[in-house]
Amino acid sequence: MLNHLRQFLCTEGFGQSSTRLLVAVSGGGDSLALLHMLYTLHMTGGPVPIVAHLDHGLRGAESAADAAFVVATATSWGLRVIVESANLPAGTTAATARAVRYAFLARTATVEQVDAVLVAHQADDQAETVLMHLLRGAGPAGLRGMRPRVEWPEWAAPAIAAGQAPLHGPPLLRPLLSIRRAALAAYCADHGLTPRQDPTNHNLHSLRARIRHQLLPKLAAENRHITAALGRTARICAEDYDFIQQALAAQWPLLIAEQRRGLIAFDRAALRALHPSLRRYALRRAIAELGDEEPSLAQIDAALYLVAGHAGSQMRLTPQVTLVCDQQVVTLRLPTAEPSSVPQIAEPVSLPDNGSVPLANGWQCVVRDYPPAHLDRWWLGLARPAVGPLSLRPRRAGDRMRPAGAPGSRRVQDIFVDLHVPRALRDGWPLLVAADGQILWLAGLRVAAGIAAVEPNQATMWIGMVAPATKQE
């Protein structure tokens, strides 16, 4: 067992005497055995173990006694130990306690500047985890269970999201995943170690406890090597999952039409051309990068149904992420992600005879009597002075205009569709309107017949939509 640990650390690149390892120790048999093995290796020139213990405070005096035991043990072996109390309220879920524990490990790893963080999950824990995911329904991502090595951005995510840890840090290692709980208990007995016992491990209100004490023994009656079999399943699924992620990574640059803070837009045709498996993982990756919670299979299937259907549909994919399907792009956005690449407007705005008015997203509308230095689609030169004041407003139901070169009037909605304007941008698109209500310009897209000057020097008034980074000439 000691040779296994030494080989694992060397393979992962953490076997040197100068290496500093943060070890999560609860005081139970698994973590106590791991700590003793690391201490033994350290005494013969192995890496330096630093002990970390979080007292959740969920079991009162028993929790405090566990912390005292860990401190006494580590101190007797001459090891540095860091203890923190969380004082979580009664009824805290296992998932919440786990997030708090990992945030503590991330903070401590940052302060101590360690090279890796070690936890003592073993083969029986792995079998229980795989079964938990199987009972809830899972694909390769869930059935891969726990992995021997997890990089910092994944395992330290709670601390990073809370601003308690930096973006980069050490990996999390699980060197005991191939070792059975009984073997670790025997190790403790052989070395005179008396671990602490946690009675909550026998509380059958917990799904993991029911799997451990009821389901796994029944499955072992059918296959006495069920723990090893589930471990192999986890390893195979982990390898398959890695392959899928590599395939997705190769396609990702071809999929992305736009990516910025709070928004990821896919090229719709490229997304639809992917294998269904990669389509699902592409949506999952986008949601993860936007920082929202993992979607269910039903949510992903509903999203893919929209992607395969007609343009112009949208749905709330997760609590924070909205998915919008347009003709050419599929956009996933957070509520805080405001469109910034085009002008947007929320309320009607009267335009001055000369000057500017602010729009949304830092844009502004400029009115003046001379042309810009560089003409583009965001500038309109009027052929003759406007009769009455001009204004900008968002579109309204039933809006129509007669675009230049068209045989008659058209619905503004149809123009948006023809020009593949993303659905999320249509309600805020600025419309230039005359005093009599006539739509003169669908800003940057279409101008009404007979409005624009044929030559720049013939224009009597210039109206422009100026982006935030653009200076007025």
Q: Which helix (H) or strand (E) holds 355?
A: strand 355-358
Q: Is the pTM higher than 0.75?
A: no
- Span 369-409, pLDDT tens digits: 888 887 778 899 998 888 889 999 999 989 999 988 777 88
pLDDT of 276 strictly over 90: yes
Confidence of residue 14 (pLDDT cuts 50, 70, 90): very high
Distances (CA, A) of 238 to 243, 304, 339, 388, 472: 9, 25, 38, 69, 56
What 3-state class would DSSP assign to 404?
coil
Between CA 336 and CA 261 the distance in angstroms is 9
- Span 48-107, pLDDT tens digits: 999 999 998 888 889 999 999 999 999 999 999 999 998 888 778 887 888 889 999 999
What 3-state class would DSSP assign to 228?
helix
**Looking at residue 452, what is its pLDDT?**
86
Structural domains in the chain plus CATH codes: 2-222 (3.40.50.620), 248-333 (3.30.465.60), 349-466 (no CATH)
- Nearest of 310, 241, 307 to residue 277 by alpha carbon: 241
**Looking at residue 45, what is its pLDDT?**
95
pLDDT of 243 strictly over 70: yes
DSSP secondary structure letter of residue 295: P
Q: 13's torsion region: left (phi>0), alpha (psi -120 to 50) or beta?
A: left
pLDDT of 437 strictly over 70: yes
